Amino acid sequence: MTQPADPLSICIVDDEPLAHRRLRQLLDDVPGARIVADARDGRVVPQIVSAHRPDLLLLDIEMPHVDGFDVIEALQGTADAARPPLIIFTTAFPDFAAQAYETGAIDFLTKPVQPERLAIALDRARNALIARDALTRLELLQSRLDGLRRDRAAIAPEDPIWVSHRGDMIRVLPSEIEQITAEGEYVSLHVGDHRYLHRGVISRFLEDISDPDLVRVHRSHAVRRTCIERTSRNKWGAPLLHLSNRAIIPVGRKYLDVMKSL
């Protein structure tokens, strides 16, 4: 498995000296694992997490003063709650397993912890970190999409489409088009409450304007992603898209994967 460039930073939280020492010894033999802090009292864990920002807590469930579940609740109320450490519970009582997973823990180790089982749990933690980092990067990109689109428009202004409408020539920007419908030798461009006919076939038209937000969902239909409000199915079970302009668009069988990606 490909591991992250940085070692897995770990905090041990356990009030039992023997269990604490065993975890330290086991982790010393694990490549790519680094103990950044430890604690024998769950009450100090929020401060330790804020100071050291570990990737992972090896957290004992049974501790005096506050137990492992109390620690989880305390962490949820801290400034680091948006990116909390991953949790692997440790306990001498396997009956706690179901409760431990309900808290969102990624694994559960029974004492005395065995090296092979610890290695599996740490691999799960690494995989979870990789997935979380990828999700964070995607969320960051999505949060910046509007700004990126504005930047792109400023650098490369849209080329307008000129369409004939009742004897006049109307200027239509591709970004204004909400829906495209094939009608013989023409495509019908839906812009707000207006509909304009433009000579051409739908596939060639989509290639020419090259707008990634206009997506082909049927041999006769393309829609703007942001105009899709919900999906449903007709009486035969075929999927339908409901648009913000109240249009209901069928999804072609060959475009089902496209619909799922939306």
- 126, HSE (Cβ side, Cα atoms, 13 Å): 19
**Res 43: pLDDT:** 92
Give average pLDDT by consecutive 10-residue segment, the chain, 262 residues: 66 93 93 92 92 93 86 75 82 71 80 93 91 72 64 64 86 91 92 90 90 91 92 88 91 85 74
| pTM for this predicted structure | 0.52
Residue 257 and residue 239 in contact, taking contact as beta carbons nearer than 8 Å: no
**8-136 CATH fold:** Rossmann fold (3.40.50)
pLDDT of residue 62: 87
Structural contact between residues 205 and 163, judged by C-beta atoms closer than 8 angstroms: no
Output the pLDDT for position 36.
95
- Domain residues of the chain, as ranges? 8-136, 163-261
The full 3-state SS of 50-101, as one line of letters, equals HHHCCCEEEEECCCCCCCHHHHHHHHHCCCCCCCCCEEEEEECCHHHHHHHH
Q: What is the pLDDT of residue 4?
A: 43
Residue partners of 46: CB distance under 8 A and separation at least 6? 74, 75, 78
**CATH class of the region 163-261:** mainly beta
Instruction: Specify the 3-state DSSP secondary structure of 184.
Output: coil
